[in-house]
Amino acid sequence: MGIVEKIKEVEEEMARTQKNKATEYHLGLLKAKLARYRAQLLEPAAKSGGGGTGFDVQKAGDARVALIGFPSVGKSTLLNKLTHTASEAAAYEFTTLTAIPGVIEYKGARIQLLDLPGIVEGASQGRGRGRQVVSTAKTADLILIILDATKSDEQRRLLEIELDTVGIRLNKQRPDVVFKRKTTGGITFTATVKLTKTDEKTIRTILAGYKLHNCDVMIREDITTDEFIDVLIGTRKYIPCVYVYNKVDAISLEQVDKLARTPRTVVISAEMDLNLEYLVDRIWEHLNMVKVYTKKRGVHPDLDDPICMRKGSTIEHVCDGVHRSLAPNFKYALVWGKSSKFNPHAQKVGLNHLVQDEDVVSIFTK
Ligand SMILES: Nc1nc2c(ncn2[C@@H]2O[C@H](COP(=O)(O)OP(=O)(O)OP(=O)(O)O)[C@@H](O)[C@H]2O)c(=O)[nH]1
Ligand SMILES: [K+]
Ligand SMILES: [Mg+2]
Protein backbone atom coordinates (compact mmCIF):
# COMPACT_ATOMS: atom_id res chain seq x y z
CA MET A 1 0.00 0.00 0.00
CA GLY A 2 1.37 3.45 -0.94
CA ILE A 3 1.63 6.33 1.51
CA VAL A 4 -1.27 8.16 -0.09
CA GLU A 5 -3.52 5.13 0.53
CA LYS A 6 -2.23 4.77 4.08
CA ILE A 7 -3.03 8.42 4.74
CA LYS A 8 -6.50 7.92 3.36
CA GLU A 9 -7.02 4.91 5.59
CA VAL A 10 -6.01 6.79 8.73
CA GLU A 11 -8.15 9.77 7.74
CA GLU A 12 -11.12 7.47 7.26
CA GLU A 13 -10.56 5.84 10.61
CA MET A 14 -10.39 9.27 12.23
CA ALA A 15 -13.62 10.32 10.56
CA ARG A 16 -15.29 7.13 11.81
CA THR A 17 -14.08 7.57 15.37
CA GLN A 18 -16.37 9.60 17.59
CA LYS A 19 -14.66 12.36 19.51
CA ASN A 20 -14.99 11.84 23.25
CA LYS A 21 -12.95 11.34 26.37
CA ALA A 22 -12.60 7.58 25.79
CA THR A 23 -11.29 7.89 22.22
CA GLU A 24 -9.02 10.88 22.85
CA TYR A 25 -5.84 8.81 23.16
CA HIS A 26 -6.63 6.67 20.17
CA LEU A 27 -7.30 9.80 18.10
CA GLY A 28 -4.04 11.28 19.34
CA LEU A 29 -2.21 8.20 18.08
CA LEU A 30 -3.93 8.39 14.72
CA LYS A 31 -3.02 12.06 14.42
CA ALA A 32 0.60 11.24 15.11
CA LYS A 33 0.52 8.48 12.50
CA LEU A 34 -1.02 10.81 9.97
CA ALA A 35 1.61 13.47 10.60
CA ARG A 36 4.34 10.88 10.13
CA TYR A 37 2.94 9.63 6.81
CA ARG A 38 2.57 13.18 5.53
CA ALA A 39 6.14 13.95 6.46
CA GLN A 40 7.20 10.81 4.54
CA LEU A 41 5.19 11.92 1.55
CA LEU A 42 7.23 15.08 1.34
CA GLU A 43 10.63 13.49 1.74
CA PRO A 44 12.66 13.79 -1.46
CA ALA A 45 13.35 10.06 -1.41
CA ALA A 46 9.66 9.12 -1.31
CA LYS A 47 8.83 6.75 -4.15
CA SER A 48 5.24 7.90 -4.46
CA GLY A 49 6.02 10.29 -7.30
CA GLY A 50 7.29 13.81 -7.42
CA GLY A 51 9.52 14.19 -4.41
CA GLY A 52 9.45 17.12 -2.09
CA THR A 53 11.88 19.59 -3.57
CA GLY A 54 10.79 23.02 -4.65
CA PHE A 55 11.67 24.97 -7.76
CA ASP A 56 15.30 25.81 -7.94
CA VAL A 57 15.24 29.58 -7.72
CA GLN A 58 18.12 31.24 -5.98
CA LYS A 59 17.20 33.38 -3.01
CA ALA A 60 18.00 37.00 -3.65
CA GLY A 61 17.43 40.26 -1.83
CA ASP A 62 16.55 40.79 1.80
CA ALA A 63 13.40 38.66 2.00
CA ARG A 64 11.32 36.27 -0.09
CA VAL A 65 7.57 36.49 -0.69
CA ALA A 66 5.67 33.69 -2.47
CA LEU A 67 2.42 34.06 -4.43
CA ILE A 68 0.14 31.09 -3.84
CA GLY A 69 -3.27 30.60 -5.39
CA PHE A 70 -5.49 28.62 -7.71
CA PRO A 71 -5.00 28.99 -11.48
CA SER A 72 -5.87 32.29 -13.16
CA VAL A 73 -6.46 34.34 -10.03
CA GLY A 74 -3.98 36.91 -11.35
CA LYS A 75 -0.65 35.99 -9.72
CA SER A 76 1.44 36.70 -12.81
CA THR A 77 -0.44 39.91 -13.55
CA LEU A 78 0.40 41.04 -10.01
CA LEU A 79 4.08 40.10 -10.31
CA ASN A 80 4.33 42.08 -13.53
CA LYS A 81 2.77 45.13 -11.89
CA LEU A 82 4.87 45.08 -8.74
CA THR A 83 8.23 44.22 -10.31
CA HIS A 84 9.94 44.87 -13.60
CA THR A 85 9.49 41.29 -14.67
CA ALA A 86 7.50 39.77 -17.49
CA SER A 87 5.72 36.63 -16.43
CA GLU A 88 3.20 35.47 -18.97
CA ALA A 89 -0.38 36.20 -17.95
CA ALA A 90 -3.34 34.85 -19.86
CA ALA A 91 -6.99 33.90 -19.57
CA TYR A 92 -6.33 30.15 -19.53
CA GLU A 93 -5.38 28.09 -16.48
CA PHE A 94 -1.82 26.93 -15.79
CA THR A 95 -0.22 29.66 -17.85
CA THR A 96 2.70 29.74 -15.44
CA LEU A 97 4.56 26.45 -15.24
CA THR A 98 7.57 27.28 -13.13
CA ALA A 99 8.73 29.76 -10.49
CA ILE A 100 9.39 33.24 -11.83
CA PRO A 101 11.25 35.63 -9.53
CA GLY A 102 10.91 39.40 -9.52
CA VAL A 103 12.19 42.11 -7.19
CA ILE A 104 10.31 44.85 -5.34
CA GLU A 105 12.51 47.72 -4.23
CA TYR A 106 11.03 49.34 -1.18
CA LYS A 107 12.47 51.63 1.49
CA GLY A 108 15.92 50.61 0.34
CA ALA A 109 15.15 46.91 0.74
CA ARG A 110 15.04 44.35 -2.04
CA ILE A 111 12.16 41.94 -1.66
CA GLN A 112 12.08 38.89 -3.90
CA LEU A 113 8.59 38.12 -5.14
CA LEU A 114 8.04 34.61 -6.52
CA ASP A 115 5.31 33.96 -9.05
CA LEU A 116 4.32 30.30 -8.94
CA PRO A 117 2.10 27.96 -10.94
CA GLY A 118 -1.50 27.74 -9.81
CA ILE A 119 -2.23 24.89 -7.48
CA VAL A 120 -5.22 22.61 -7.39
CA GLU A 121 -6.98 20.87 -4.58
CA GLY A 122 -4.86 17.88 -3.56
CA ALA A 123 -1.65 19.67 -4.57
CA SER A 124 0.08 18.55 -1.40
CA GLN A 125 -0.70 14.92 -2.30
CA GLY A 126 1.24 15.30 -5.50
CA ARG A 127 -1.40 16.56 -7.92
CA GLY A 128 -0.16 18.86 -10.64
CA ARG A 129 2.97 20.74 -9.77
CA GLY A 130 1.42 21.37 -6.41
CA ARG A 131 4.01 19.55 -4.39
CA GLN A 132 6.79 21.65 -5.92
CA VAL A 133 4.78 24.82 -5.42
CA VAL A 134 4.04 24.18 -1.77
CA SER A 135 7.64 23.11 -1.12
CA THR A 136 8.79 26.40 -2.60
CA ALA A 137 6.30 28.21 -0.39
CA LYS A 138 8.15 26.74 2.59
CA THR A 139 11.21 28.78 1.70
CA ALA A 140 9.32 32.09 1.86
CA ASP A 141 9.45 34.67 4.63
CA LEU A 142 5.89 35.69 3.81
CA ILE A 143 3.14 34.02 1.79
CA LEU A 144 0.60 35.99 -0.19
CA ILE A 145 -2.50 33.88 -0.65
CA ILE A 146 -3.98 35.24 -3.86
CA LEU A 147 -7.74 34.85 -4.16
CA ASP A 148 -10.19 35.66 -6.91
CA ALA A 149 -12.74 38.07 -5.42
CA THR A 150 -15.34 36.95 -7.95
CA LYS A 151 -15.16 33.33 -6.81
CA SER A 152 -16.44 31.52 -3.71
CA ASP A 153 -14.57 31.97 -0.47
CA GLU A 154 -14.15 28.20 -0.25
CA GLN A 155 -10.87 28.70 -2.20
CA ARG A 156 -9.29 30.28 0.86
CA ARG A 157 -9.99 27.35 3.14
CA LEU A 158 -8.82 24.84 0.52
CA LEU A 159 -5.49 26.65 0.11
CA GLU A 160 -5.02 26.79 3.85
CA ILE A 161 -5.55 23.03 4.02
CA GLU A 162 -2.98 22.39 1.27
CA LEU A 163 -0.37 24.52 3.04
CA ASP A 164 -1.15 23.00 6.41
CA THR A 165 -0.75 19.50 4.98
CA VAL A 166 2.83 20.17 3.92
CA GLY A 167 3.70 21.49 7.37
CA ILE A 168 3.32 25.22 6.85
CA ARG A 169 1.70 26.88 9.86
CA LEU A 170 0.27 30.20 8.78
CA ASN A 171 0.35 33.17 11.14
CA LYS A 172 1.35 31.05 14.09
CA GLN A 173 4.26 31.05 16.48
CA ARG A 174 6.31 27.95 17.18
CA PRO A 175 4.68 26.39 20.28
CA ASP A 176 6.53 27.18 23.49
CA VAL A 177 7.64 23.64 24.23
CA VAL A 178 11.11 22.42 25.12
CA PHE A 179 11.71 18.92 23.83
CA LYS A 180 14.99 17.07 24.35
CA ARG A 181 15.83 13.51 23.33
CA LYS A 182 17.97 11.49 25.72
CA THR A 183 19.50 8.04 25.66
CA THR A 184 18.37 6.94 29.13
CA GLY A 185 16.32 8.13 32.07
CA GLY A 186 12.78 7.70 30.82
CA ILE A 187 10.36 10.53 30.18
CA THR A 188 10.34 13.70 32.26
CA PHE A 189 7.14 15.62 31.78
CA THR A 190 6.59 19.16 33.06
CA ALA A 191 3.89 21.68 32.23
CA THR A 192 4.34 25.19 33.57
CA VAL A 193 0.76 26.14 32.66
CA LYS A 194 -2.59 24.37 33.03
CA LEU A 195 -3.28 22.26 29.93
CA THR A 196 -6.89 22.54 28.80
CA LYS A 197 -6.62 21.21 25.22
CA THR A 198 -4.46 18.15 25.73
CA ASP A 199 -3.09 16.25 28.72
CA GLU A 200 -0.09 14.34 29.96
CA LYS A 201 -1.57 10.94 29.16
CA THR A 202 -2.24 11.85 25.52
CA ILE A 203 1.25 13.21 25.16
CA ARG A 204 2.80 10.10 26.68
CA THR A 205 0.73 7.97 24.29
CA ILE A 206 2.04 9.95 21.35
CA LEU A 207 5.63 9.71 22.57
CA ALA A 208 5.20 5.94 22.82
CA GLY A 209 3.79 5.93 19.28
CA TYR A 210 7.01 7.56 18.13
CA LYS A 211 9.06 5.08 20.17
CA LEU A 212 10.42 7.96 22.24
CA HIS A 213 11.03 6.39 25.64
CA ASN A 214 13.72 8.75 26.92
CA CYS A 215 13.19 12.49 26.64
CA ASP A 216 12.50 15.72 28.50
CA VAL A 217 9.27 17.53 27.70
CA MET A 218 8.55 20.94 29.13
CA ILE A 219 5.34 22.61 28.02
CA ARG A 220 5.12 26.34 28.65
CA GLU A 221 1.93 27.17 26.78
CA ASP A 222 -1.62 25.79 26.64
CA ILE A 223 -1.04 23.79 23.44
CA THR A 224 -3.23 21.37 21.53
CA THR A 225 -2.31 17.75 20.73
CA ASP A 226 -1.62 18.77 17.12
CA GLU A 227 0.77 21.47 18.22
CA PHE A 228 2.65 18.93 20.30
CA ILE A 229 2.97 16.65 17.27
CA ASP A 230 4.33 19.64 15.31
CA VAL A 231 7.06 20.03 17.90
CA LEU A 232 7.93 16.31 17.64
CA ILE A 233 8.06 16.35 13.86
CA GLY A 234 10.29 19.39 14.14
CA THR A 235 10.26 20.45 10.48
CA ARG A 236 7.23 22.69 10.62
CA LYS A 237 7.58 26.12 9.10
CA TYR A 238 5.86 29.04 10.80
CA ILE A 239 5.23 31.62 8.09
CA PRO A 240 3.09 34.75 8.19
CA CYS A 241 0.58 35.23 5.40
CA VAL A 242 -1.59 37.97 3.93
CA TYR A 243 -4.83 37.23 2.07
CA VAL A 244 -5.01 39.19 -1.17
CA TYR A 245 -8.34 39.38 -2.99
CA ASN A 246 -7.67 40.29 -6.63
CA LYS A 247 -10.12 41.38 -9.35
CA VAL A 248 -12.16 43.60 -7.04
CA ASP A 249 -12.90 45.71 -10.12
CA ALA A 250 -15.40 42.97 -10.97
CA ILE A 251 -17.43 42.94 -7.73
CA SER A 252 -19.73 45.43 -6.01
CA LEU A 253 -18.45 48.10 -3.64
CA GLU A 254 -20.39 46.49 -0.79
CA GLN A 255 -18.56 43.21 -1.39
CA VAL A 256 -15.19 44.96 -1.59
CA ASP A 257 -15.90 46.74 1.66
CA LYS A 258 -16.80 43.51 3.40
CA LEU A 259 -13.66 41.70 2.21
CA ALA A 260 -11.44 44.64 3.13
CA ARG A 261 -12.61 44.46 6.72
CA THR A 262 -11.43 40.88 7.17
CA PRO A 263 -8.23 40.57 9.23
CA ARG A 264 -4.91 40.28 7.35
CA THR A 265 -6.72 40.95 4.11
CA VAL A 266 -5.92 43.33 1.27
CA VAL A 267 -8.23 43.93 -1.69
CA ILE A 268 -6.66 44.82 -5.04
CA SER A 269 -7.10 44.87 -8.75
CA ALA A 270 -3.79 43.98 -10.34
CA GLU A 271 -5.10 44.77 -13.79
CA MET A 272 -6.57 48.18 -12.86
CA ASP A 273 -3.70 49.12 -10.54
CA LEU A 274 -6.00 49.44 -7.53
CA ASN A 275 -4.51 49.49 -4.03
CA LEU A 276 -1.13 48.05 -5.07
CA GLU A 277 0.90 50.56 -3.06
CA TYR A 278 -1.11 49.70 0.02
CA LEU A 279 -0.37 46.04 -0.64
CA VAL A 280 3.38 46.69 -0.73
CA ASP A 281 3.11 48.60 2.58
CA ARG A 282 1.38 45.59 4.13
CA ILE A 283 4.01 43.22 2.70
CA TRP A 284 6.69 45.30 4.36
CA GLU A 285 4.80 45.38 7.64
CA HIS A 286 4.17 41.64 7.75
CA LEU A 287 7.74 40.80 6.79
CA ASN A 288 8.70 42.45 10.05
CA MET A 289 11.71 44.10 8.50
CA VAL A 290 13.95 46.59 10.21
CA LYS A 291 16.35 48.89 8.47
CA VAL A 292 19.50 50.21 10.03
CA TYR A 293 21.73 53.01 8.79
CA THR A 294 25.45 52.77 9.11
CA LYS A 295 27.56 55.78 9.94
CA LYS A 296 31.28 56.40 9.58
CA ARG A 297 33.05 58.46 12.21
CA GLY A 298 32.67 62.21 11.71
CA VAL A 299 30.12 62.03 8.89
CA HIS A 300 26.34 61.81 8.67
CA PRO A 301 24.74 58.38 8.34
CA ASP A 302 24.14 57.15 4.82
CA LEU A 303 20.34 57.42 4.61
CA ASP A 304 20.17 56.21 1.03
CA ASP A 305 21.64 52.83 1.66
CA PRO A 306 20.15 51.18 4.75
CA ILE A 307 20.81 47.58 5.71
CA CYS A 308 17.55 45.65 5.81
CA MET A 309 17.08 42.67 8.06
CA ARG A 310 14.34 40.64 9.69
CA LYS A 311 13.18 41.77 13.12
CA GLY A 312 15.30 40.14 15.84
CA SER A 313 18.58 40.86 14.05
CA THR A 314 21.70 41.85 15.95
CA ILE A 315 24.78 44.01 15.45
CA GLU A 316 26.43 40.86 14.10
CA HIS A 317 23.87 40.77 11.27
CA VAL A 318 24.57 44.43 10.61
CA CYS A 319 28.30 43.64 10.33
CA ASP A 320 27.58 40.81 7.91
CA GLY A 321 25.37 43.15 5.91
CA VAL A 322 28.29 45.53 5.42
CA HIS A 323 31.10 43.09 4.80
CA ARG A 324 32.08 39.56 5.81
CA SER A 325 35.38 40.71 7.28
CA LEU A 326 33.70 42.99 9.82
CA ALA A 327 32.38 40.59 12.47
CA PRO A 328 35.68 38.70 12.97
CA ASN A 329 37.52 41.99 13.57
CA PHE A 330 34.77 43.60 15.61
CA LYS A 331 35.73 45.67 18.66
CA TYR A 332 32.50 47.48 19.59
CA ALA A 333 29.63 49.42 18.04
CA LEU A 334 27.88 52.65 18.85
CA VAL A 335 24.15 52.70 18.33
CA TRP A 336 21.74 55.62 18.21
CA GLY A 337 17.97 55.26 18.07
CA LYS A 338 15.26 53.16 19.68
CA SER A 339 17.57 50.32 20.72
CA SER A 340 19.96 52.66 22.56
CA LYS A 341 19.53 52.65 26.33
CA PHE A 342 20.47 56.33 26.32
CA ASN A 343 18.36 57.41 23.32
CA PRO A 344 18.79 60.05 21.85
CA HIS A 345 22.41 59.48 22.85
CA ALA A 346 24.53 56.59 21.69
CA GLN A 347 25.11 53.36 23.56
CA LYS A 348 28.26 51.28 23.25
CA VAL A 349 27.24 47.69 22.45
CA GLY A 350 28.56 44.27 21.46
CA LEU A 351 27.74 41.84 18.65
CA ASN A 352 24.68 40.39 20.41
CA HIS A 353 22.86 43.69 20.76
CA LEU A 354 19.40 43.61 19.13
CA VAL A 355 18.86 46.45 16.70
CA GLN A 356 15.57 48.22 16.06
CA ASP A 357 14.05 49.88 13.03
CA GLU A 358 15.82 53.11 12.01
CA ASP A 359 18.77 52.67 14.34
CA VAL A 360 22.04 54.27 13.30
CA VAL A 361 25.12 52.13 13.87
CA SER A 362 28.85 52.83 13.84
CA ILE A 363 31.09 49.79 13.89
CA PHE A 364 34.63 49.89 15.28
CA THR A 365 37.13 47.20 14.41
CA LYS A 366 40.40 46.08 15.93
N1 LIG B 1 -10.98 41.65 -13.96
C2 LIG B 1 -9.70 41.40 -13.64
N3 LIG B 1 -9.02 40.44 -14.30
C4 LIG B 1 -7.76 40.20 -13.94
C5 LIG B 1 -7.11 40.93 -12.90
N6 LIG B 1 -5.86 40.46 -12.77
C7 LIG B 1 -5.71 39.48 -13.68
N8 LIG B 1 -6.85 39.33 -14.40
C9 LIG B 1 -7.08 38.38 -15.51
O10 LIG B 1 -7.08 37.05 -15.01
C11 LIG B 1 -6.54 36.16 -15.98
C12 LIG B 1 -5.43 35.32 -15.35
O13 LIG B 1 -4.33 36.14 -15.02
P14 LIG B 1 -2.90 35.53 -14.72
O15 LIG B 1 -2.07 36.64 -14.22
O16 LIG B 1 -2.42 34.74 -15.89
O17 LIG B 1 -3.28 34.53 -13.55
P18 LIG B 1 -2.33 33.47 -12.81
O19 LIG B 1 -2.85 33.38 -11.43
O20 LIG B 1 -0.91 33.83 -12.98
O21 LIG B 1 -2.68 32.15 -13.62
P22 LIG B 1 -1.83 30.76 -13.76
O23 LIG B 1 -0.41 31.09 -14.03
O24 LIG B 1 -2.47 30.11 -14.94
O25 LIG B 1 -2.05 30.03 -12.49
C26 LIG B 1 -6.03 37.02 -17.12
O27 LIG B 1 -7.00 36.96 -18.15
C28 LIG B 1 -5.95 38.40 -16.52
O29 LIG B 1 -6.15 39.39 -17.49
C30 LIG B 1 -7.86 41.96 -12.24
O31 LIG B 1 -7.40 42.67 -11.34
N32 LIG B 1 -9.15 42.14 -12.65
K1 LIG C 1 -3.66 32.24 -16.25
MG1 LIG D 1 0.61 32.77 -13.75
CATH architecture of the domain 63-172+237-287 equals 3-Layer(aba) Sandwich (3.40)
Kindly report, residue by residue over 206-250, the tens digit of the pLDDT: 999 888 999 999 999 999 999 999 999 888 999 999 999 999 999
- Residue 105, pLDDT > 60, answer yes
- Residue 307, pLDDT > 80, answer yes
How sure is the predictor about 42, in pLDDT bands with cuts at 50, 70 and 90? low
In this prediction, residues 339-364 reach a mean pLDDT of 95
Return the domain boundaries, the chain.
3-43+175-233, 63-172+237-287, 289-365
Q: What is the pLDDT of residue 53?
A: 63
- The span from the CA of 40 to the CA of 6, in Å, is 11
Q: Which atom of ligand 1 is nearest to the CA of 94?
A: 24
Write the CB contacts of 315 (distance below 8 Å, at least 6 apart in sequence).
330, 333, 335, 349, 350, 351, 352, 353, 355, 361, 363
Closest CA to 292 of 279, 309, 273, 275: 309
State pTM to two decimals. 0.79
Nearest ligand to residue 145 Cα: 1
- Residue 26, pLDDT > 90, answer no
Of 72, 251, 256, best ligand 1 pocket probe by most atoms within 8 Å of the beta carbon: 72
Strand partners, 68: 145
Q: What is the pLDDT of residue 50?
A: 40
Nearest ligand to residue 74 Cα: 1
In this prediction, residues 253-282 reach a mean pLDDT of 96
User: What CATH number belongs to 289-365?
Assistant: 3.10.20.30
Strand partners, 334: 348, 362
Instruction: Compute the mean pLDDT over every residue in the chain, rounded to the nearest whole number.
Output: 89
Strand partners, 144: 67, 242
Q: What are phi and psi of 112, to 5 degrees?
A: -80, 125
Q: What is the pLDDT of residue 41?
A: 61
- Residue 126, pLDDT > 70, answer no
Residues in the ligand 1 pocket, defined by CB under 6 Å: 69, 71-77, 89-91, 93-96, 117-118, 246-247, 249-250, 269-272
How sure is the predictor about 251, in pLDDT bands with cuts at 50, 70 and 90? very high
Report the percentage of the chain scoring pLDDT > 90.
63
Q: Which atom of ligand 1 is nearest to the CA of 270?
A: 31
